[in-house]
Amino acid sequence: IKVAQIVDAKIQGDIVVCAAYSHELPNYGIKVGLTNWAACYATGLLLARRTLQKFGLDEKYEGQTEPDGEMYQVEEDDDGPRPFTCVLDVGLVRTTTGNRVFGALKGAVDGGLDIPHNQKRLPGYDPEEKELDAETCKKYIFGGHVQEYMEMLQEDDEDRYQSQFAKYIENDIGPDDLEEMYQNAHEAIREDPSPKPTEKQDSYPDLKKKKMKLSQKKDRVRQKIAAYKKKQAAAGGDDDDEDED
């Protein structure tokens, strides 16, 4: 699960102003691939639209309504409130070019948040030419890299395709369906980014591991020792058979 948050640092501690999670994406039509670059972009977009809606800025700062992969920065409106500004905190994530954290960044910026950044870490950036290939970046936004990989496996390794994309097949999602799926999700997020309440259950399974008694711990150790000795004895018997041969 990918998490994107707006955090306000105060003396008494950090306060989460707003948050968006990739497990919310099925509410907007993205039912599979919740951790890839395109899903991170959608999560960042959801965070941006939700935050701006909370502060009444969603109509004033719509962001990049038609993602094209180009470098985009929010421009301040001289006649209205300033844009919502924040700083990217990647934590311990490796800031390599094309990292998924920059997918969330791109989605948040396209969603209307003012986040200082440049194009050097977006997919499609050429360090030699010092230019961003917008088509490559747009391909990642709409899952084009996943589509290419799916098509390659379909041609070269059908078994691996069936295994690796089992959830896609189960939901009847093929390579040609990805772009439309993400495009519809972006529109749905912009239409209603508000969080959806989850269904509460009367009771939940107890996932906490119960503590063992001392007698149970000792018995477990005895079982492990016996299993190890049995395995060693079996291995020794196999070696004797090979020597006789």
List for the chain the helix, strand, coil content (%; round to 5). Answer: 50, 10, 45
Q: Residue 201's pLDDT is what?
A: 80
29: left (phi over 0), alpha (psi -120 to 50) or beta: left
Tell me what the mean pLDDT of segment 14-43 comes to: 94
CA proximity to 125, closest of 107, 106, 112: 106
Residue 80 or residue 181, greater confidence: 181
Consecutive H or E run containing 236: helix 214-244
* Class of residue 186 by CB neighbours under 10 A (exposed 0-12, middle 13-18, buried 19+): buried
Give me the chain's average pLDDT, please: 90
pLDDT at 234 over 90: no
pLDDT value for 102: 94
Q: What is the pLDDT of residues 60-113, one digit of tens each?
A: 999 999 999 999 999 888 888 899 999 999 888 888 999 999 999 999 999 999
CA 78 – CA 76 distance, rounded (Å):
6
Q: What is the pLDDT of residue 196?
A: 85
Encoded amino acid at 93, one letter: V
**Which tokens is 80 given?**
């209205």
- Percentage, residues of the chain above pLDDT 70: 96
Q: Which amino acid would we find at residue 180?
A: E
On the question of pLDDT at 230 being above 80, the answer is: yes
Rounded-to-integer distance, Cα 116 and Cα 108, Å: 11
pLDDT band at 237 (very low <50, low <70, confident <90, very high): low
Res 245: pLDDT: 54
**pLDDT tens sequence across 149-180:** 999 999 999 999 999 999 999 999 999 999 99
For the CA atoms of 106, 111, 112, 114, what is the dihedral angle to 10 degrees? -30
Model-level pTM?
0.80
* Residue found by looking up tokens 């020597």 in the block: 243
pLDDT at position 243 over 70: no
Q: Which residue has the tokens 């905190």?
A: 89
Mean local confidence (pLDDT), 54-62: 92
